[in-house]
Structure 1
């Protein structure tokens, strides 16, 4: 079975619901199309007919968070002229409990129009992993339950469809059910038909949050209109991806992406919350608490759990890996990087002004996470953080590039586990320093130990990871089971910037490589250099471009002072955003820009994707360069030199709860207003860009 493709479908999302249809709005019984609710397909068909014929599509457009509009024509109705006179506007809106559709039929004909409108409906309750694997579902018979009402039921889920002023029909046990309306329009008349679906699923492990939106949409003025459009669409998408657990609906996190990953993912949810810190700390706080409640407490090789470890993925039941021999347990801990990233999210949220009382509540979990780093992250004792799937049923690779073939040598050979990834050593180094800062600030012992740990890790990394290649020295992607450097040049090394693991000279070398044509001639940062034996533009992790990966590197380059390189990568993402209607997908192909003109879609990529949407905030923040340290009573202002993205003003950023406005003019001069009075602005000039 092949995984169904997504790139040409329209995705409408309001978590935990998501709908995927063809561009004409029809949900057809094929592939991944359908309405999903908490990892179940609760509607596998919703096809609209007028007099037994499908209307002709002329366009579609997003209409806000969780809403899409589809426009079509019934050209066989109305006046016999060149211009169409009967139009259908189909507005799809997802709610926390299902979906509502309104079909407005408008006639500009000079004579009355009559028609029979039907919506054919099917439900198969297919699990999301079965759909992802390409396995077809089995339709469940519908039951009429009153005037204009239909229902379907499974062992855990109940679905009800109501057609207002409609007739509900069920023809046979195998065929679709339908809603039917008889429509009569006077000359230049209009009528609106409405139907809605409600899903009840007490077994769902994720629900819609009860908390108000965790951020206020910023007010943005930019010379480059792509920035404002990308931010507008991204914030709408992020709003639609908000989730909570049933037992704690007030703690919000972001589901990773629709349709495959609309649930809690440790790494993804952490990175998205971290990139959104310039808009406030509430999302970060909710994400930290949710993951802390599921922090590991015991050793379990089947789930990958270990004391202090932060989980990877939450599902309602075990999840089959599409195209791989594996089955993940419902609560799975197979991630090597979520735990150090959790520590750094706590630290960064504290510096952006997360209330000390909220930080203090999480300090026992901080100490447990540091305990995992000390006792369980380095099973062979070589001083590096590494992973291996000892169960034989989990993820073979457990960094963010978690596909089975992502760790390759320069000649294309795959590395054998245990694997010690380069960027994970950077995360661990940064987490040790961040943990030490938090321990000191809250009067807890152990900070000196973690600073010593970081210093020793940096020396070991310098000795073991740096290799020679065609473009000179660079950090290897990883160490394999024999402690050999996996000598491919990849985007992973960009995550080392800003972690403190590299010297200034080493950072300059990494920045130079990241901006080289082999890495940056596409629409963003390639995951692997085009000179590597394993490179393919349409490989999931070996040559494609991931917006979140590029954004993480942009942010690190900007903070380290490599503004020219950051601007080059940002321009690539902005160009890609324009091609994708400002909804950046999970990933896209890594073809060179001068070869394709516009980015080629990766056909199975999720859209929207939380950390791809959050990349918009990371780009704007990198351009502005405001870095607060609320506990220390200071803030730095360090925008990109020369304003390479043009003049930009963002009002509505949040520092310690205060609304802040930051602006950069055409010459790169920066200003900030609204900082809390107890923060001292240390720097308000644009430094010269560092050149490797």
Structure 2
């Protein structure tokens, strides 16, 4: 272990930080706005911390924080007081407002000092600075970087130079700059009675080796207007769309194609699974983000076979980094190459997104352009996805340095039997078989429409055979729950008999019969699964359950909303509504910014969800979940190629009346509504589409 990263294994907390983001730059501070050289605080650009300290001092003291509020994508305001200054008496007379704006290539701040004192004030203001260029994976593993040296330039700028040509430049307007052992900017401020002073500084980042860059232009989705009896819906959707705008990024090799970075701070880059699910959830607001996400991932689709990278022909990547990514933690050590393909489901989800986007009205020429990538992805499904030839999609980390588990629950201990034992790989996950069925049938429909006749037949036959095999091998009736689909098959093809949220992802894929969907819906509605603020990842009756386990008892927002969508599509409206209300309760507790995950505790005795300390916030698919909740309530299900749009709102309007103007079908803005009696309406459909 190097001296730069002394031994420290506990990952730093995120739940108590204020995050201001415009990807690929993020600023994480305390709620007071101060950036201290501790934990995960800092200004990050992609995978490096480019400022580790930015502490504001007034006469050598830190102001007392009193308020913080986000102000939209990349903007936040912090309010503090200097109660030791000014007139005698209990009332504060000196107020400091700190407006922070993250730009995507750095940040700038405007510090306003306001006096209501009866007499003049002379104040020394300084900003103590520091930079360590710590790689993100080191910060995530709980290590602190060694401070880098600053250089003062003739124009008064302070400059830090880091690895790979990354450079941080700090400039203070009308400030004195000091570079030596204690880098800082300093101002002398004279305030007249009732006066104010405005101080400005900025930090710019140069990153010649960037693999992801800031997106340009407006967001790729509509801006819906929401009127709702449950006012939490509008608040959640508004802040969620702000967060999604702040997470927009582009591939440095194709700046015109945008995707959504997975989450702040650990995953602010291209992730196949996360970016695909996010684009899929946003389809009710337009297909443009889906189109660009599909292109970005197709551009890096696997061509060769690599043991360490997990690459295979036709496979969609898991994550993209600027260099090798090494993480050391309690789960062991992983070492991932810059382009890593260790995901069992991203390729299937890519096909599903292409199919769904086509149904929502993705232009035919855009779909046709991706036909070669579709064929390659289906080729992976029919070949390398099933290395042992048993007819199921499975994974194994052959290189031994990648992810041991490669479904969305990718922590080392995520796949457990009912008694708590861990399953050994190769592992075939239940939900992945559902994705495979859906990808095969969706791929067949696309081939029917865009390829030669009969090309889709192979994949319909594949899907039918998979459904029969799944029914034969995955359904078990040996534990305390009665018949249920197993979480997985392990190395010895034994069903992993725990009850988990994974089986909820099967709803709506077509893999299950209506009776089987009813059985799954009933299992998920039980208190041991739905007794908290959302759907638990594992039943409270299972031996591996822990409400603060990353994947074995916690609640994940995207996981819950995928199940809500499936329940609604399968007609289990009451269960869908119960889970939707649980997420809205959680959103209210988290200030309408839902984190990546939180604890799976019962709703009582605290009455609010317990944060998971290292959860990303904001996080892409948690933010996109707001759109899925709204559309599950409204029940808008288009099939543009077939010329029809179905409208099936949740029965009985369980969240009250709801009207949304600005949903987008086939490029046209439409308005969908459900009244207090549960009757739905849809207006503004483009010509050629019929409402059913």
Please indicate the TM-score interval, normalised by the length of the shorter structure.
over 0.9
Q: Which residue pairs with 2:392 in the alignment?
A: 384
Partner residue of 2:576 out of 557, 566, 569:
566
Between the aligned partners of 1:517 and 1:302, the Cα distance in structure 2 is 42
Deviations 1:414-472 (A, max 9, x none): 00000000000000000000000000011334211100100000010001111113121
Q: Are positions 1:396 and 2:404 aligned together?
A: yes
Q: Which residue pairs with 1:288 in the alignment?
A: 294
Deviations 1:120-152 (A, max 9, x none): 111111110011111110111111113441111
Q: Which moved more, 1:137-146 or 1:334-343?
A: 137-146
Deviations 1:84-133 (A, max 9, x none): 00000111110021001111100111111110000011111111001111
Q: Are positions 1:199 and 2:208 aligned together?
A: no
Query: Could you say what secondary structure the match of 1:267 adopts?
Result: helix
Query: Could you say what secondary structure the match of 1:471 adopts?
Result: coil
Q: Are positions 1:241 and 2:250 aligned together?
A: no
Partner residue of 1:449 out of 435, 438, 458:
458
Between the aligned partners of 1:210 and 1:471, the Cα distance in structure 2 is 51
- Maintained 8 Å contact 1:211/1:249: no
Q: Which residue pairs with 1:689 in the alignment?
A: none
Q: Runs of 5+ in structure 1 lacking a partner?
A: 683-692
Between the aligned partners of 2:550 and 2:423, the Cα distance in structure 1 is 17
Matches within 5 A, 1:613-624: 613-624=623-634
- Maintained 8 Å contact 2:138/2:327: no
Q: Which residue pairs with 1:48 in the alignment?
A: 56
Between the aligned partners of 1:23 and 1:627, the Cα distance in structure 2 is 41
- Maintained 8 Å contact 1:237/1:608: yes
Q: Are positions 1:416 and 2:416 aligned together?
A: no
Partner residue of 1:38 out of 38, 42, 46:
46
- Maintained 8 Å contact 2:662/2:671: yes
Between the aligned partners of 1:663 and 1:601, the Cα distance in structure 2 is 34
Q: Which residue pairs with 1:685 in the alignment?
A: none
- Maintained 8 Å contact 1:148/1:164: no
- Maintained 8 Å contact 2:358/2:640: yes
Between the aligned partners of 1:55 and 1:264, the Cα distance in structure 2 is 38
Between the aligned partners of 1:308 and 1:382, the Cα distance in structure 2 is 20
Q: Are positions 1:532 and 2:542 aligned together?
A: yes
Between the aligned partners of 1:371 and 1:590, the Cα distance in structure 2 is 39
Between the aligned partners of 1:54 and 1:594, the Cα distance in structure 2 is 38
Matches within 5 A, 1:23-422: 23-155=31-163, 156-171=165-180, 175-323=181-329, 324-422=332-430
Between the aligned partners of 1:432 and 1:26, the Cα distance in structure 2 is 51
Between the aligned partners of 1:166 and 1:147, the Cα distance in structure 2 is 11
Between the aligned partners of 1:38 and 1:602, the Cα distance in structure 2 is 23
Between the aligned partners of 2:517 and 2:446, the Cα distance in structure 1 is 26
Cα RMSD after superposing both structures: 0.8
Q: Which residue pairs with 1:653 in the alignment?
A: 663
Q: Which residue pairs with 2:3 in the alignment?
A: none
Deviations 1:214-268 (A, max 9, x none): 0121100000011000001100000000000112111100000000000000000
Q: Are positions 1:501 and 2:507 aligned together?
A: no
- Maintained 8 Å contact 2:222/2:664: no
Between the aligned partners of 1:372 and 1:251, the Cα distance in structure 2 is 25
Q: Are positions 1:436 and 2:426 aligned together?
A: no
Between the aligned partners of 1:211 and 1:79, the Cα distance in structure 2 is 49
Between the aligned partners of 1:198 and 1:321, the Cα distance in structure 2 is 28
Query: Could you say what secondary structure the match of 1:642 adopts?
Result: coil
Please report how far the alpha carbon of residue 31 of structure 1 lies from its aligned counterpart in structure 2 after TM superposition.
1.0
Query: Could you say what secondary structure the match of 1:221 adopts?
Result: strand
Query: Could you say what secondary structure the match of 1:652 adopts?
Result: strand
- Maintained 8 Å contact 1:149/1:168: yes
Q: Which residue pairs with 1:462 in the alignment?
A: 471
Task: Give the 3 Å change call, closer, same or farther, for CA 211–364 of structure 1 in structure 2.
Answer: farther
Between the aligned partners of 2:634 and 2:489, the Cα distance in structure 1 is 37
How many residue pairs get aligned? The number is: 679
Between the aligned partners of 2:518 and 2:638, the Cα distance in structure 1 is 24
Between the aligned partners of 1:552 and 1:253, the Cα distance in structure 2 is 20
- Maintained 8 Å contact 1:223/1:646: yes
Partner residue of 2:522 out of 512, 535, 550:
512
Q: Which residue pairs with 2:599 in the alignment?
A: 589
Between the aligned partners of 1:226 and 1:569, the Cα distance in structure 2 is 15
Please report how far the alpha carbon of residue 488 of structure 1 lies from its aligned counterpart in structure 2 after TM superposition.
0.3
Deviations 1:198-219 (A, max 9, x none): 0010101100112431012110
- Maintained 8 Å contact 1:147/1:166: no
Please report how far the alpha carbon of residue 559 of structure 1 lies from its aligned counterpart in structure 2 after TM superposition.
1.1
Q: Are positions 1:628 and 2:657 aligned together?
A: no
Query: Could you say what secondary structure the match of 2:598 adopts?
Result: coil
Please report how far the alpha carbon of residue 2 of structure 1 lies from its aligned counterpart in structure 2 after TM superposition.
1.4
Between the aligned partners of 2:328 and 2:670, the Cα distance in structure 1 is 45
Q: Which residue pairs with 2:25 in the alignment?
A: 17
Query: Could you say what secondary structure the match of 2:554 adopts?
Result: coil
Between the aligned partners of 1:29 and 1:518, the Cα distance in structure 2 is 41
Deviations 1:34-61 (A, max 9, x none): 0000111100000000000000111211
Length-normalised TM-score, structure 1: 0.97
Query: Could you say what secondary structure the match of 1:207 adopts?
Result: strand
Deviations 1:369-423 (A, max 9, x none): 0000001000001110000000000000000000000000000000000000000
Between the aligned partners of 1:404 and 1:321, the Cα distance in structure 2 is 13
Q: Which residue pairs with 2:483 in the alignment?
A: 473
Q: Which residue pairs with 2:12 in the alignment?
A: 4
Query: Could you say what secondary structure the match of 1:20 adopts?
Result: strand
Please report how far the alpha carbon of residue 321 of structure 1 lies from its aligned counterpart in structure 2 after TM superposition.
2.3
Q: Which residue pairs with 2:6 in the alignment?
A: none
Deviations 1:140-187 (A, max 9, x none): 11111134411111232111111001110123xxx3310000001111
